[in-house]
Structure 1
């Protein structure tokens, strides 16, 4: 469901229910300044306006998002402590670590998806491939001779590349870096053959002519890069995006889930929010709590399969 769903713009205030009667805490399980943090601060102001209160963003980073997520899992289910989760905390992390201090399904109440961030397939300008199909053919002619970069073992960047390899039936060597920014110079120089990078960090290098983009990792064309064809046009069903979503602790009353969900949809429909998210490389996408739960379940199953199949471990 699009965030542009026609919803009223009046603040959502339920005086008869007494909620909210104080500020809400929105925990971000990652450091300040990152995409998740900026998204939280962009949406929180409008969310607070719709609820008739203040939404205070708190950064609780550490252990790949585990620390902040666990704090919300153990909070009171009263609607005053929320979590802005990502694919890392509730889909990839559980696939890599069976000993998380929280259960990503049973210890949380899904409220709403908030957005998604696609990645793009980048190659050096010296690459003989100008399309995804040509790159696949190039890799098939050179098994084991091509490589791909990632931002580290067990990251969405590695998993995306391994999903690509699995669906295309390729043998391509993994070279992990400590962040994709460190891999860019080697990709530009031709020492690397491909990188699946996020839009915010990868697209500027395409626009300045240093790299070539072959495709986007959404199922359909993304409004953020409408001229870039989906990799799924060549590999049907191929999809890899980082999703962002709002959770409360287990046991959050259904009426509060509904109230918060409606407020999220209204916040994402705001033109100012849409513009800020687009500049961040995030598409505002939402839906019902059930739709969000189904998205996470499907994503977790997909990455679990890839982790097991490709024998992937985290750093």
Structure 2
């Protein structure tokens, strides 16, 4: 199967796309039927970022995430305002290098199916789904010029992969947070909260787990990053995605399509006791 990135134009109704206006921007051949695609988002400079998994199967059998001649296991950065399908931005990190795809912004990723930018500071948070042991969050500062290697398939989280092998982490960027499969098995990346309703959440990156339903909050601390479990589980169905509205308020959707919003109990003493997820649409 192939991964297709396509562009549609709005119809006369601004809430509905014109289904006949499809323009295919990018087509990527996939060797297996999992890890086929991921998040699409525009960076602060207006460039389209595309997340692509490592091609699937188990353990990246073709070593595609570390292969910079392949688009798989990468985050791409494209200019899509040109007359053709896309152009490569001049300031992408691998422009002009022989044997390296210039579309690549970052590599060494297993399945970056959810990522987002902090609306205030531009930090890129990449949630990368792990293999057998660990889920991870990578944080790329707004000052980055790209080119980071996030380690897969030499590392899973901060650990050698496979765990029985020795590895050299030199040249890789380690995640700012990870958790093992005793508490969750498939990370679902979210957003940094920049709304007005819950001041205690401001500046915290919220993310969760597809399997366990747990939700964490991650924020910078003096000695690195502070990671706090906010909700143990309020999902009877899988946590599929997060969303944010124009006011910066945060929403979650489960695999059934039920939409929840972040709520708070004002009388609670701790941040963890405050947070809950009222259902707003099913």
TM-score by length of 1: 0.25
Which has the higher Rg, Structure 1 or Structure 2? 1
Q: Which of the two has greater helix per residue?
A: 1
Normalised to the residue count of structure 2, the TM-score between the two structures is 0.27
